[in-house]
Structure 1
Amino acid sequence: MAIKKQPPSIDEILKAKNAKEAEAAKPRFLNKAQREKIALDKQNREAEEARRRRDSGSNGASRNGTSQNGNGALNSTESSIPTGPRAMRTDVPTGPASMRQKGDMLPPPVPKHAEKRQGKRSAPEATEAALTRQRYMGAEQNQSTFSAKKKRRRTTEKKFNFDWNDEEDTSPDYNPIYQQRAEAAFFGRGKLGGFAEEATETRTHKFIETLIERDPDNGHERAAEILDMERRRKEKGSRAALDKHWSEKDLDKMRERDWRIFKEDFNIATRGGSIPNPMRDWTESGLPQNILNLVNKVGYEDPSAVQRAAIPIALQSRDLIGVAVTGSGKTAAFLLPLLVYISTLPPLSSTNRQDGPYGLILAPTRELAQQIEGEAKKFADPLGFKTAVIVGGHAIEEQSYKMRDGVEIIIATPGRLLDCIERRVLVLSQCCYVIMDEADRMIDMGFEEPVNKILEALPVGNEKPDTDAAEDSEAMSRGRYRQTMMYTATMPAAVERIARKYLRRPAIVTIGNAGEAVETVEQRVEFVQGEEKRKKRLQEILSSGEFTPPIIVFVNIKRNCDAIARDIKHMGFSAVTLHGSKTQDQREAALAALRNGTTDVLVATDLAGRGIDVNDVSLVVNFNMASSIESYTHRIGRTGRAGKSGVAITFWGNEDTDVLYDLKSMLAKSTISKVPEDLKKHEAAQQKGGRRKGGEAKGPPLM
C-alpha cells in the first residue's frame, strides 16, 4: 500500500524560504562572458525603452495635431511629458500654447558651464561598468597627486652656484672668439723656461742631456745642480707634503696639520701657553745620550702617549699636570726628566748631603711607592744616583739610616714623610723638583692636609713667578726654580685647589678621556645576586681554562678577603690576600708571590686598585662592584697594561644601584665591550643617582 505524501509543515516551509533567501543574498561570481551578456541585454532593454518613449511622444503629437486659425497662427498642443533632460530638449516652450505665435523668439542658448557639465556626465554603460568593477575588485584607492616638479623649491636652491663645469660654458655659442682658443707659447728650455707642468720631468732630462752634450767639461756639474734643485722643489711642494703621512716625514718637514694628526692618532690633548710639540720617537725626545742608552737597555721600544707629550714639556722646566688613564706609562714620563735635572746638579758630598734630596716623589700607597722605586733603580743605579723609600710599616730609624749618606731621590707616602719632617729626620732645603703621582687617590685617602704641609716645607725662595715668564722655557732654565708636576686620573676639586696654589702656569696634558678605562680591556658585567651564587660563578670562571694566572679578585670588605681566598683554595687554586690589616712584610710577600708565579690568584680590596703593576694579569674579577666608578676604573686597569689585552668580569646586584648608570655609560663608550640587556633595561641605570622618584630600584628577575 502506497504511503500518502504528507504536505510540508510550517517549519519546513520557513526553512526552505530562509535557505532560498540566504542563497539569493550570496554574491554571484560571473565570468566575463556572462557579465558581457548581462550588460548587452540591459543595454538593449534601455534602448528599446527609449525608442518606445520616443514613439509614444510622436504619436501623441500627431493625434493632437496643429490647427491654424483664421489669422494663420499656429496653435500647437504639446505633450507635458518630458522626453529627456532640459538642456537636450529642442522643443522648449516659450509660453502658454494659446499665446504662442510664429514669430516668438527662440529659447536662450545653453550656458557653457551647462555644456561642460553635460560633457562630463558619464553614460549609463560606464556607470554600470564602474559599479561592477567596484563590486568585484573593491573600491579604488586614493592616489597621491604629489608632483616633484610642483614642489616648492628651497630658498637655498635659489642661490647662485659658482661651481661651474667645463661643459656649462656657453660662451662659444654666441661669441666666435672662444671657438679657437690660443695656446700659450713659452720660451726657454725645460721647467726653467716655463714649460707646461705635465712635461716638466721629461723636458728637464732632455735639457740635461743637451747641456752635457754641448758642454762636456762643466755639463755634468751643472746637471747635478739642476737635478738637486728640482728635487728640493718637489720636496717643498705643498702637494707632496700633504700626500705623505707624518711618520714618513723628517722633523723639520712637519707642519701644523701633521702635528694635529699626530695628536689625534695618540689621543693627546694639551692646554697652556708655549707647549712644545710631542716627540715622535726616543731620538727626538731631547734626552741625553747616556739616558737614551739606558732606555734602550731597559727595553722601552716606543714611547707611550703620555711619555710623548709630557717629557718634552718637563725638559723645559715647566710645571705640568698630566691626566692619563691608569697603566699608561706615567712612571717613566716623570722619572726621565727628573734624572736629567739631577744630572745638571753637583754630586752629593759631605757639604750638601744634610740639606736633603734633590727630587721628591709622593705616592698614595706603600705598594706604589715601592713600585716607583723599582722602576727608578733601573736608571738611577747606572747613573750613580741613590734612591730611598719612606713608607709606613717599617721602622723610622731604619729609613733614616738609609739616608745618612744622602740620597738624590726620595719616594714617600705623605703620612710617613710628614712624620720624618716633623721629627727633624729629614729636611727639604735643596729639593726643587716635586712629583705627585696619583694625586686624586692621595686626596681620596685623606692626605690633602699632609700634602699641603709637605709642600709648605719646601724652600720658598725659588718659586716661579705667576706671570708669562713661567711659560718661557729659556727664562725658567736660567734660574733654578722649583718645578712641580702632578699626575692624576681625575681632577676633583681638592686636586684643583692644590694645583692652583703650588703650580705656576702649568701645561695640562690629557691622554684619552679622563676617568675612562683603556680600550685594551674587555669589560663583562653579569647580574649575580647572593654571595653563594657568586662563588659558584667564580669557580666556573677559574675552572674554564680561558684565563691564565695571575688573576686578581677584588672585594669591598677586608674580612671577606680571607674567606674568599679560602674558598678559592678549596677550588684547587693557590691564593693570597692583600688589604689594609696586613703588615708591610705580608703585603710585599703577597705581591712577590703573585709576580713570581707561585700564586695564581690575589684577593684584595681597593688597596690594590691603584698603582699595583703586575705583569700579564689576564683577568680581573670584581666579586663586589666598586662603590664608585672611579674605583671600578682603576680596578680593571690592573689588566690590559703596556698595550696588552685583558678581561674584567664584574658581578653586580640590587645593592649597586648608585653606580649602575655610570657603569652602563662606561660600557657604552667602550668599542670592545657590550652592555647586557638586563643592565640596559634596569630602572637604576636610566638616570644618574641610581633611583627614580617613587620607590626603590629593582633588579632583573632571577632566571
Structure 2
Amino acid sequence: MAAIPLGLQQRDVIGIAETGSGKTAAFVLPMLSYISRLPPISEENEAEGPYAVVLAPTRELAQQIEKETVKFAHDLGIKVVSIVGGKSIEEQGFKIAQGCEVVIATPGRLIDCLQRRLAVLNQCNYVVLDEADTMIDKGLEDQVNEDEELDDKKIYRTTYMFSATMPPAVERLARNYLRNPVVVTIGSAGTTTDLITQNVVMISKESEKFEKLKRLLDEVLGDHKTAIVFANTKKNVNILAKSLSKNGYHHVITLHSDLQQSQRDSNLEGFKTKRYNVLVATDAAGRGIDVPDVAHVINYEMPPKIEKYTHRIGRTGRAGKTGLATTFLTMQDTGVFYDLKKMLIQSNSSVPPELARHEASKYKPGTIPDRPPRHN
C-alpha cells in the first residue's frame, strides 16, 4: 500500500519491510504499469534487450519472482524470462534474444550473459534489487556500474531496492545509485512480523539437540503440518537429514547449493505439495522460499549473523498467518547474543535467563564497555 503509489510515479524507492509482507507485489505492479506504457517488444527493438531487470540473490527467489510476475504479466502480453545458474546459459540467451520485456536474474548469471553477449541492456531503465543486502554480501557492490549515457540523454533509471534489513553497505549503494529515493519502512529494519512466536532454547550439551528436535517435530507432524530445519553447513544438513530418516522420519528432504538445480526444484516442489513434511536446509532456503503454511521453523544451529536469523524465521508467519520459530542456542553462539537478545525484546518474545545474564548479550561485539573509574 505504501510503495505502489510511489512506484507508479516512477520514484526511486528503498523498501525495508518485515519478511512475508508482500514486497514482490510492491515492485511488480508499478514495473508492469511502466512497461505497459512502452512500445511492445517486437522485431524492431528486441535486439536492444528488456525494459526491466529484477535481480535476486538465489535461484529459488528469482524463480519465485518469475512465477508471481507472470501471473500479472501474461494477460498484459508482457513476456518474462528468468536467467539463473544451474540451467543452460545458451538456452536462456536464446529466450532473451527472442524478445522479452522483463528479465529476472541472479547477478552472476546476468553478468555471464552480458559478457558472452547473450544479452544486452540498452533500453533497460527499470531496475529492481530484491534482497539487496544478501547480494551485496556476494559482491554485488563491486559489480554495479553507473551508465553515464543516461544523464546525457536525460533518461533516468527507476530503481527499487528491497530488503528486510538495512546494513551500511545497502545505505552506501542507495546513496551512490538511487535518485532522491523515498524510504518506505514497514515495521523496523531487521525485524520480523508480530505473527511469529519466537522461542529460544539454551542447550548445554550438543547431544541434547537431536532429542529436542525430535520432540518439536513430533508435535508439528502430529498436526499434519510442515517444518523447516536450518543448519549452517551443507555437511550438517546431510547428516541431520540422514539421522532423521534413520529415526523414522521418512518424509524428509534437503535443500542446499550442492544439489543440482533440477533436484532443488523437485525437492522444493515436493515440500510445497506436502509430499515431504520436513525440509532440512542451509540459508539457501532462508530467503525467497514462499511455502504456504510452514508451521514451524527450527534453527538447529544459530546462524552467525542476526540478518540470517531474521530471514530464516520469516519462512513462517507469512501472508497474515501465525507461525512458530524455535532456535537452539549454545555457548558457541556468543557473537550473536547481543543482537538476538535485542530482537527478542523488540518483538516482546521471552528471553531465556541464561541469555539475558550472559556478558556477551550486554554489549555489541567489538565495543568496549564503560568501566567504572578507579579510586585511589
TM over 0.5: yes
Gaps of 5+ in 1: 1-307, 465-479, 694-703
Distance 1:627 1:595 in 2: 28
- Look up the match of 2:212: 537
Structure 2 residue aligned with 1:616, among 248, 269, 293? 293
| CA-to-aligned-CA distance 1:427-454 (integer Å, 9 cap, x gap) | 111111111111111011222222x04x
- Return closer, same or farther for 1:326/1:459 CA change in 2, 3 Å cut-off: farther
Alpha-carbon contact 2:16-2:164 (below 8 Å) kept: yes
- Look up the match of 1:601: 278
Distance 1:680 1:559 in 2: 32
Structure 1 residue aligned with 2:134, among 436, 441, 458? 441
Structure 1 residue aligned with 2:170, among 479, 492, 495? 495
- Look up the match of 2:342: 665
- Look up the match of 2:260: 583
TM-score (norm 2): 0.93
Distance 2:10 2:40 in 1: 20
Return the structure number with greater strand share: 2
Alpha-carbon contact 1:392-1:416 (below 8 Å) kept: yes
Distance 1:404 1:661 in 2: 50
**Aligned residue identity for 1:555:** A
Gaps of 5+ in 2: 370-376
User: How much does 1:517 deviate?
Assistant: 1.7
Distance 1:482 1:580 in 2: 33
* 1:460 pairs with 2:137: no
Which protein shows a greater Rg? 1
- Look up the match of 1:362: 55
SS at 1:618 equivalent = strand
* 1:506 pairs with 2:181: yes
**Aligned residue identity for 1:665:** K
- Return closer, same or farther for 1:576/1:375 CA change in 2, 3 Å cut-off: same
Distance 1:572 1:374 in 2: 35
User: How much does 1:376 deviate?
Assistant: 0.5
Distance 1:580 1:446 in 2: 18
Alpha-carbon contact 1:657-1:691 (below 8 Å) kept: no
- Return closer, same or farther for 1:463/1:640 CA change in 2, 3 Å cut-off: farther
- Return closer, same or farther for 1:548/1:686 CA change in 2, 3 Å cut-off: farther
Alpha-carbon contact 1:621-1:650 (below 8 Å) kept: yes
Alpha-carbon contact 1:431-1:459 (below 8 Å) kept: no
* 1:318 pairs with 2:11: yes
User: How much does 1:318 deviate?
Assistant: 0.9
Task: Give 1:108-257 correspondences, 5 Å limit.
Answer: none
SS at 1:460 equivalent = helix
* 1:554 pairs with 2:244: no
Distance 1:516 1:333 in 2: 19
| CA-to-aligned-CA distance 1:195-243 (integer Å, 9 cap, x gap) | xxxxxxxxxxxxxxxxxxxxxxxxxxxxxxxxxxxxxxxxxxxxxxxxx
- Return closer, same or farther for 1:690/1:518 CA change in 2, 3 Å cut-off: farther
Distance 2:140 2:366 in 1: 29
Return the structure number with greater helix share: 1
Distance 2:345 2:196 in 1: 13
* 1:677 pairs with 2:353: yes
Identical-pair percentage: 52
Query: For the aligned residues, what is the CA RMSD?
Result: 1.9
User: How much does 1:549 deviate?
Assistant: 2.8
* 1:644 pairs with 2:321: yes
SS at 1:403 equivalent = helix
May I ask how many residue pairs the two structures share in their alignment? 367
Alpha-carbon contact 1:520-1:643 (below 8 Å) kept: yes
**Aligned residue identity for 1:488:** S
Structure 2 residue aligned with 1:398, among 73, 85, 91? 91
SS at 2:2 equivalent = helix
User: How much does 1:377 deviate?
Assistant: 0.8
| CA-to-aligned-CA distance 1:163-214 (integer Å, 9 cap, x gap) | xxxxxxxxxxxxxxxxxxxxxxxxxxxxxxxxxxxxxxxxxxxxxxxxxxxx
SS at 1:487 equivalent = strand
Task: Give 1:339-358 correspondences, 5 Å limit.
Answer: 339-358=32-51
Distance 1:675 1:643 in 2: 25
Alpha-carbon contact 1:657-1:690 (below 8 Å) kept: no
